[in-house]
Structure 1
Amino acid sequence: MTVFESVQDAIGGTPLFRLTRLGAGIAAPVYAKAEFLSIGGSVKDRAALSMVLAAEQDGSLRPGGTIIEATSGNTGIGLALVGRLRGYRVIVGVSDRSSVEKSDILRAYGAEVVVAPAALPKQHPDHLFNVVRRLAAEIPGAWLANQYDNPANPDAHVRTTGPEIWEQTAGRITHFVAGVGTGGTISGTGGYLKKVSGGAVTVVGADPEASEYGGGDGSPYFVESIGHFVHPETVEDVWPQSFHPEVVDRFERISDRESLLTARSLAREEGLLAGPSSGTAVAAALRVARTLGPDDLVVVLLPDSGRSYLSKLYSDDWLREWGFLEEPGGEPTVRELLGRPDGADLVTVAAGSTLGAALTVLSGVPGGVAPVVTPRPERPFGLSGTDVVGSLAAAEVEAALAEGRARPTDPITALRGRPLPTVGVGQPLSAARALFEAGHPAAVVLLDGRVAGLIRHAQLPDGR
């Protein structure tokens, strides 16, 4: 049995598992690199250790210093593990959309957690990245890890992950599949495998359907830690320097539903409790493997543990609330109340509208209320539930204009109400009825996290 002098020495060295059940009937074997079995629970342990050692070597991180980083959670956990072990104070900025489990784990390791919004344009002073940059500038002896542009991030995988996979497969690997977040994992690992194989290994990026990396519109999606989201008000969209696009031969774009449900199948069918981005990667790997033969070998990287997502991915209630889970039988569901399931008949008001323009939009809308949404030039994947930022009622606008409290050219800001409640397409009708009994005039219906329509009290079967 292996004995380590410290947990730092247990980073990496993760096993491969063949996906025998999910890969049944597929000629090419598919092996999963279980990075969640690293000591800190994710592939980001490797990058964290690499970045800290490099910073110590070049003098940017000195004894008694403070490590600061913006993260969806995993890199912060790796930095907390390594940093606290080496005597540093660790402050981690976490997105308000990251799972609560990640913040709990960070605090357990002794990190200080700062929660900040990521769903803002990058130039906004309250954006997560800007919050941590200010902290790094204000705290004496602080070092900002900056995994997105730190060359020690991909280098960790050139030195460890890539060689491990090559040795574990005895050089038989033909295809490597991984998600792209900062880009360090796929760039370093893929780059090494291409070099050692003389270019024979194909590198495939697994990407959320809406992510900009693979050609999506950059709108919100529901798989944490991978992909590239772009706020519609972002002035300059910059990709991470840790991502080397030339390493990726092609992308496989995976829907949120397929990602989430594949991750759940991975736990139930293969005994591998991994996170949602692992579902994206496995769905992509299986798609790739179906086109290959028995002489090929696919390795897919599973970045982190499902234990960090028990309140989301592994919660049936959460999946139903966002419209990802529908189960036949039992009580009738909200789906029965929908008109067009693509939400094309939904009337919305853009957040930047004037009161006069909004009133024109609201005229003739049943109930006189509509969601206020963050405008996007194009929405090929529909309107995300997270794009709904408020509501507007025609009666309130009309009253404000009639009483002289507002003018038609005024923005809707002062009269914008709270967002309408949401209900998942697979939730029972009783869930919708409860919202109306609480006094809400309407509810937004979600299908796969996207707005599929609006329902009102009068649509319920009993009319009450």
Structure 2
Amino acid sequence: MDVKNNILETIGNTPLVRLNKITKDLPCDVYAKVEYFNPGNSIKDRMAVKMLEVAEKDGKLKPGGTIIECTSGNTGMGLAMAAVVKGYKCIFTTTDKQSQSKTDILRALGAEVIICPTNVEPEDPHSYYSVAARLEKEIPNSFLMNQYDNLANRQAHYESTGPEIWNQTDGKITHLVVTAGTGGTVTGTAMYLKEKNPDIQIWAIDVYGSLLTKYFRTGEVDLNEVHPYVSEGFGEDFVPQNYDMSVIDHFEQVTDKDGAVMTRKLAREEALFCGYSAGSCIQGLLQLKSKLKKGDLVVCILHDHGSRYVAKVYNDQWMAERGYLEVKTFKDIVSARGLQRTITISSDQTVAEAVNMMKQFDIEHIPVTENDELIGAISENGLFQKVFDNPDIRNEKVKNILERSFPIVSYDTTLEKLRTLINKENGAVLAKDETGTFQIVTKYDIIQTLA
């Protein structure tokens, strides 16, 4: 039978997928090494298991022991899976900038997760590095995997990722593009590929706020380069020992915004639902398009799955709050249309008067007021059915045929939210502008915005 003995045996042999739309303006073929096909949905499964196997072989981790690691989530996922299969406990330290979904997943696999502050020096006793090191000293039969300085990290990619890419491209690869964090993926894969063909270009993608790019260019560890950034899974505020800069040809930095926008573009244009670093990887490649020529074969490593970022990069509100998304709002719709006096009708006026107002002002929806308070609404569709059923209703007062009030929202409510509020049963939404005056947005306004 074609079966696996446990989930760890499914790690690796991930597909290489051609990019067709995002890279259409490049002169060469670009392929994505889609690592979310690993069982833990990230490339980190490879090195997590390798580090564990080496620790077992060297006698640093004994049966029933405790695995300790500082992780942004993906390495922890790989280690947690391995711990379940092999019978170990897990304690992970992570930073408060990581998505909640990542820590929830780790806890689902039985791991203990300790959240530490992001904006502290690595040597600070509260940093996730320092807390992990302290726990290793305090807990008997425990081992800190230390993916940053554990060379089994890059060994995993030398033994698996590199050979897979070489074989999948029939040795025709000319460029490898990969976001750089611990250094394991970029260095280990590069070491193998450079042995096969030293002319292969290795491009590492970094984020502004990380010191890796300047270190690569100058050999200087400049902490003045370090500042907070929101990109996840790559960039560093120190230089891990897994790096061998001699096998890397270029470092390229990408902004938080450009990486986030490109991540969403990957999903919408290539159907690749990936994590934050995948968008940064592709954005870095596009920034370097002038260095590419016809006949080149580029491989981009896309590290993990988008399911861990649904509350962040795939969330419109999160993106809009950071200025990463050009989100249209109620205010934008009103501004584009021009400020207009919202036509209302008193509850004591007649249906005939309401019909005349609709004709006069060419509108379909009218809020109904009583003592200057909104108490309901009437609509052309609702009136049509009532008048058709009973022509004498024209002399009735509006308050006798009230429909449900239009929803009242904030002036900065997004277009996506408005589209969920305006439907067959409800044709308009109200909001107060900066002067405190009610403005109305209708289904027609939404259609005009989308046109």
AA in 2 matched with 1:100: Q
Moved more, 220-229 or 115-124: 115-124
SS of alignment partner, residue 207 of structure 1: strand
Segment of structure 1 superposing worse, 280-289 or 17-26 = 280-289
Q: Take 2:210 and 2:144, find their aligned partners in 1: how far apart are those partners?
A: 26
Please list, as runs of the form range in 1=range in 2, the aligned pairs for 1:434-449 lying within 5 A after superposition: none
Structure 1 residue identity aligned to 2:127? H
Q: 2:182 maps to what in 1?
A: 182
| Corresponding position of 1:5 | 5
Partner letter of residue 266 of structure 1? L
In angstroms, what is the RMSD of aligned CA positions? Answer: 2.4
Could you tell me which of 204, 215, 234 is aligned with 1:226? 234
Aligned twin of 2:416: none
Task: Kindly state the Cα deviation for residue 44 of structure 1 after the two structures are TM-superposed.
Answer: 0.5
Distance in 2 separating the partners of 1:148 and 1:194: 22
Residues 152-171 of structure 1 correspond to what in structure 2 (within 5 A)? 152-171=152-171
Corresponding position: 1:242 with 2:242: yes
CA distance in 2, matches of 1:250, 1:2: 43
* 2:143 match: 143
User: Does the Cα contact within 8 Å between 2:97 and 2:230 map onto a contact in 1?
Assistant: no
Q: Say whether the 8 Å CA contact 1:289–1:298 is kept in structure 2.
A: no
Q: 1:2 to 1:301 in 2, by over 3 A?
A: farther
TM-score by length of 2: 0.71
Give 2:202's aligned amino acid. Answer: V
Measure, in 1, the Cα distance between the counterparts of 2:57 and 2:191: 24
Question: Residue type matched to 1:97 in 2?
Answer: K
Corresponding pairs, count: 337
Show the counterpart of 1:116.
116
Kept in 2: contact 1:28–1:290 (CA 8 A): no
- C-alpha deviation, 1:330, in angstroms: 4.2
Q: Which residue of 1 aligns with 2:79?
A: 79
Q: In the alignment, is the contact (CA less than 8 A) between 1:30 and 1:285 conserved in 2?
A: no
Alpha-carbon contact 1:51-1:152 (below 8 Å) kept? yes
8 Å CA contact retained: 1:72, 1:225: yes
Q: Which shows bigger deviation, 202-211 or 257-266?
A: 202-211
Report the counterpart of residue 36 of structure 2 in structure 1. 36
Equivalent residue number for residue 440 of structure 1: none
Q: Which residue of 2 aligns with 1:353?
A: none
Written as runs of structure 1 = structure 2, the 5 A alignment for 1:342-357 is none
Query: Which residue of the partner structure matches residue 397 of structure 1?
Result: none
- The structural deviation recorded for 1:193 is 0.7
Tell me whether 1:50 sits opposite 2:50 in the alignment.
Answer: yes
CA contact (8 A) 1:285 1:298 kept: no
1:27-426 matches, cutoff 5 A: 27-197=27-197, 199-215=198-214, 217-229=225-237, 238-289=238-289, 291-328=291-328, 330-332=330-332
TM-score of the aligned structures, taking structure 1 as reference length: 0.69
User: 1:321, CA displacement in angstroms?
Assistant: 1.4
Unaligned runs of 5+ in 2: 215-223, 334-409, 414-432, 438-451
Alignment-derived partner of residue 336 in structure 2: none
1:411 maps to which residue? none
Local SS of the residue matching 2:62: coil
- What secondary structure sits across from 1:33 in the alignment? strand
Q: Is the 8 A contact 2:329 2:411 kept in 1?
A: no
Partners of 2:287 and 2:6 in 1: CA distance: 40
One-letter code aligned to 2:117: P
- Indicate conservation of the 8 Å contact 2:254/2:280, yes or no: yes
CA contact (8 A) 1:262 1:282 kept: yes
Q: CA deviation at 1:285?
A: 2.2
The CA deviation at 1:289 is: 4.4
Distance 2:160 2:178 in 1: 16
